[in-house]
Chain A
Amino acid sequence: MSYIDIQNINFAYHPKRPILQNLSLSIDKGQWIAILGHNGSGKSTLAKAIIGLLEPDFGTIDIDGMTLSPTTVYEIRKKIGIVFQNPDNQFVGVTVRDDIAFGMENLGVPQAEMLEKIDFYAEKVGMKAFLDKEPAELSGGQKQRVAIAGILAMQMDAIIFDEATSMLDPTARRELMDYIRELHNEGLTIIMITHDIEEALWAQRLVIIKDGTVFRQGTREELLKEPVTFIEAGLELPVGLQISNALKQMNALSLELEEHLWESSLKK
């Protein structure tokens, strides 16, 4: 049985406008998957359903053998953390230290243990020197790392990143991606929500969402063989793949060139 098992969920904010429709998806423990989809395709809605911020109108979500329900939701939130898009809107504490502590305080972790963990995980995400800083003094990338430290300190199994890099500059984005890879290597399950194909290509498995349901899924190699899938799902191809695609249509793509373009898209 997979770690996260989503079966046939439906969800609508307004009865007349369904957002998620018969969506099923399984995610294995320790996997890094990317959930891709155009704006408004329902990715954030899916993420909120997984951690029980929204209750599906229909269908079930099983996590680590537990079915998500109002009674299990608190257990599930001890296993899965989420980093949202806007770094400012998830920084609860007055200082970095308070923010990393927030989740642990909610779980009733004893004070001595909290202080130890704050130091350890702040060090881990490279924010040890900033523990007493206020959010106004931090960059977006630093705030996102604080959010990660807060989640790690709660010893989670999985982290959902809901477009967590989209408000960062290219350097900070790259750093965060490198850092996420490290977390994955340490055994965390990573669910990366994005509409950026290049970012999604870091994952082992890609799931493309369109109109609130799984449109196509597979390994990145499988999906890269049919770039047209991305276009059908309303996504924008990375430049390398766009060129490769155009050349293919003109029958002008040599095997060498194709390989080269692929490599450049895959090179991480």
Chain B
Amino acid sequence: MKNVIIGQYIPGSSFFYHIDPRTKIIAVVVLMVATFLLETIWQVLIGFGIALILIIAGRVPIRKIVKGLKPLYVLLLFTLVFQIAFNRVGTIVLDATMQISPFSILFMIAATIIWRLLASFKKFSLLLFFAYLVGLFFIMKNLAFSPLWTTWQLTIYDQGLIMSGFVIIRLLIIITLSTVLTLTTKPTELTQGLESLLRPLKAIGLNSEDFALIISISLRYIPTILDEANKIMNAQASRGADFAEGRLKDKVVQVISLLVPMFIIAFKRSEELADAMESRNFVPGKPRTRIHDLKFNYRDLITTVITVLCLAGSILVKVL
């Protein structure tokens, strides 16, 4: 649990690393808006192509971006299933009678077991999952024999596939954009960029400097607090607590027994931290100088031009 470093930042020196964080944040937001203006599958495919060219040019490891997609598999799958099941527009591409019988249920259980057994090959997890879905489809379509319990009709329309492709690719673009941002920008730079961008909000009473300090201190303390949670868990495990197994009720009790000391320690910690900050002349709201400077350079200009072109392009295709 040591060395937990927050954020996905990976050190590097390509083009993206040297863009001012403010430019990057604004460009990503603008490009996301532009993506939502796109209306057809061809447009989002072109958008995705541009995004790919940019990340390859910026030498951002694609592997990391795929990793960033992991938490969204369920959402992507849901989109696919939803579109296929409910979209009734266009021409029919597949119309199959699905059959359920004791045999097919046995086969499906077998398929599930095989799929779970292969789950240790994490690299191919996505591929295996699709193979599993295809397998289920094949079983229901062809391996029913008798006695049949029930049958249902699976009808897929081409617009259902196209729409799900559209939604998924649009999501891919957005994830890619935000992943590129977090991969190539240090959390400190991100906070500083945000601070600078939020500065006008001083008019409505939000002090962006204090806000940025709060974020950066939270970032700084997350590893420490995780480390602490780990220590407490180990201490409790050595006294017989079992966090992995047990009934729900036991788990709830264990989580509470973890949270209570965590809260007490966190409060004590924040009190000591406040003392340390104050003793080092920190006065909330007082102007401070900074060691990190934000400076625009020619790269920001290039980024801005590309961003504006993309936005203009997507507005154009929407209007035309």
Do A and B actually bind? yes
Interface string of A98-122 (1 = CB under 8 A from B): 1001111111111100110010000
- Check if A89 sits within 8 Å of B280, measured CB to CB: no
B264, chain A: closest CB distance, angstroms: 14
Q: Out of A51, A111, A136, name the residue touching B2 (CB < 8 Å).
A: A136
A111 touching B220 in the complex, CB below 8 Å, given contacts A78-B281, A90-B273: no
CA distance A81 to B272 in the complex (A): 15
Can you add 12 more A-B contacts, CB < 8 Å, to A86-B269, A102-B280, A115-B291? A51-B279, A78-B281, A82-B279, A84-B275, A92-B217, A92-B280, A94-B188, A94-B219, A111-B290, A136-B3, A136-B224, A150-B280
B293 in contact (CB, < 8 A): yes
B2, chain A: closest CB distance, angstroms: 6
Residues of chain A within 8 A (CB-CB) of B3 are 136-137
Could you list which residues of chain B lie within 8 angstroms of chain A, going by C-beta atoms?
2-5, 187-188, 216-217, 219-220, 223-224, 227, 269, 272-273, 275-283, 286-291, 293
B265, chain A: closest CB distance, angstroms: 10
- Check if B281 sits within 8 Å of A103, measured CB to CB: yes
A58 in contact (CB, < 8 A): no
Within A154-180, which residues are at the interface with B (CB < 8 Å)? Answer: 154
What is the size, in residues, of chain A's interface with B at 8 Å between Cβ atoms? 41
A202 in contact (CB, < 8 A): no
- Check if A98 sits within 8 Å of B275, measured CB to CB: no
Q: Out of B187, B227, B272, name the residue touching A84 (CB < 8 Å).
A: B272
- Check if A104 sits within 8 Å of B289, measured CB to CB: yes
- Check if B219 sits within 8 Å of A77, measured CB to CB: no
CA distance A174 to B305 in the complex (A): 58
Residues of chain A within 8 A (CB-CB) of B5 are 134, 136
Residues of chain A within 8 A (CB-CB) of B286 are 106
Q: Out of A89, A95, A118, name the residue touching B272 (CB < 8 Å).
A: A89
B182, chain A: closest CB distance, angstroms: 15
- Check if A74 sits within 8 Å of B220, measured CB to CB: no
- Check if B281 sits within 8 Å of A111, measured CB to CB: no
